[in-house]
Structure 1
Amino acid sequence: MSAQSPAVGRITLADRLVTRSLATDIALVAGGAAFTGLLAQVAVPLWPVPITGQTLAVLLVGSTLGALRGVLSMALYAVLGVVGVPWFSDAASGWHVIAGPTGGYIIGFIAAAGLTGWLAQRAWDRKVLGAFVSFLAGTGVTFAVGLPWLAASLGLNLEQTLQAGLYPFIIGGIIKALLAAGIIPLAWRLTSRRSR
């Protein structure tokens, strides 16, 4: 690992694909934020929380970049969205998005990327089952932060919160975790073959 690199820990998929340096870390962090912003535009409108591709992006970015770079990437996504980059769902931006009902999910993305990245650095993402468990855990972290935020911002009771912010997303969350659990281990296998 380069002494210039802020990424620490064990090898990740990104490290397998590119030489680790401060410049590549910056590019990967920015690219992860942009990828999340792009998938945020893939949405099924629901109120108060739309179904989007963001959560899939968070899982992929965290696992591919590792804990530190994953956290930095999602923090960059949140900060740039607050200051005006229109890449939250439905091309929204601004502080009101973070302060609103969906803000907790965006903050939860930071922790979710950190957890999936941490698990990836311990090789959980190399096999489908480990990757699936890792991605379910990351999804759970997003809800653990997002649901209380949703309840507080709209003054909802527990049942209302679960109906608005959890139940409609369970099947989609499982599908996204399965999709990511297919993509990342396959990418590891492909890079292993390439390096032989």
Structure 2
Amino acid sequence: MSNSTSTAAARAFVPLRLTDRPLALRAAVVALGTLFLAASSWVEVPMLPVPMTMQTFAVTLIGALYGWRLGAITVLAWLGEGLVGMPVLAGGAGGVAHFAGPTAGYLFAFPLAAALVGWLAERGWTGRGNLLRSFGAMLLGNAFILVTGGAWLAAMIGIDNAITYGVAPFVLGAIVKSTLATASVEATRRAGKAGQR
């Protein structure tokens, strides 16, 4: 694929069209993305050993709207905020301990999932109103997070417990959040298209 073709493909999918924007605007968008991720983390259903939040919705949505590079950078910036103790993780938590405990696998998976969804989006999965493929991209991102987080958890509490407590309770939520992210991307795409008329 030539550079012009890949640029055209990226423009075709990204409702926010951030690829060619000025650096200051992209930095501001990253900052807003970290605020959105923090807010999604504060929406929490307490569960042990892993709480249910809206984080995966935000991660996949940012990947789809920002593209793989800026999406991953945004999620990494948010994780950096959490690492230094800012209250941006689940339930308003922060600090190094969360990057070594039961939730660490999920946290490490987030930037990769944003990059995966963004990469798929750049290849047309979330463009042109194809809701089924868009949902598939979101679901793949959620599945990657569950598998990676579950694998980390399995090393700590065993595979059976990891599936019982760290994967199975989140499958329905992953489907619902994938649906919400798909609807959000489509609404953003339509709003952008209407604004260009």
Q: Deviations over 1:42-97 (max 9, x none)?
A: 01000000110111110111111000000001111111101011110111100001
Distance 1:79 1:151 in 2: 25
8 Å CA contact 2:131, 2:182 repeated in 1: yes
What does residue 10 of structure 1 align with? 10
Contact 2:154 2:160 in 1 (8 A): no
Matches within 5 A, 1:12-161: 12-15=14-17, 20-126=21-127, 127-152=130-155, 155-161=156-162
Amino acid at match of 1:128: L
Residue aligning to 2:180: 179
Cα distance in 1 for residues equivalent to 2:162 and 2:69: 31
| TM-score between the two structures when normalised by the length of structure 1 | 0.90
Task: Please list every run of 5 or more consecutive structure 1 residues that lacks an aligned counterpart in the other structure.
Answer: 1-6
Deviation string for 1:121-141 (max 9, x for gaps)?
122112211110000010011
**Structure 1 stretches of 4+ moved >2 Å:** none
Measure the CA separation in 2 of the matches of 1:62 and 1:49: 23
- Matches of 2:32 and 2:149, distance apart in 1: 24
Q: Determine the C-alpha separation between the residues in 2 that align with 1:119 and 1:21.
A: 24
CA distance in 2, matches of 1:73, 1:115: 14
Give the drift of 1:186: 2.1
Following superposition, the deviation at residue 171 of structure 1 comes to 0.5
1:30 is matched by which residue type in structure 2? A
Distance 1:190 1:31 in 2: 19
Give the superposition deviation at 1:19: 6.7
Residue 144 of structure 1, CA deviation: 2.4
Structure 2: runs of 5+ lacking an equivalent: 1-6
In angstroms, what is the RMSD of aligned CA positions? 1.9
Give, as a single letter, the amino acid of the residue that structure 2 aligns with 1:160: N
- Separation (CA, whole Å) in 2 of partners of 1:182 and 1:169: 20
Aligned length: 187
Identity of aligned residues (%): 34
- Distance in structure 2 (CA, Å) of the matches to 1:195 and 1:171: 37
- Structure with larger RCO (C-alpha < 8 A, sep 6+): 2
1:194 to 2:195 alignment? yes
How many angstroms does 1:147 deviate by? 1.1
CA distance in 2, matches of 1:122, 1:13: 14
Whole-angstrom CA distance in 2 between matches of 1:52 and 1:82: 18
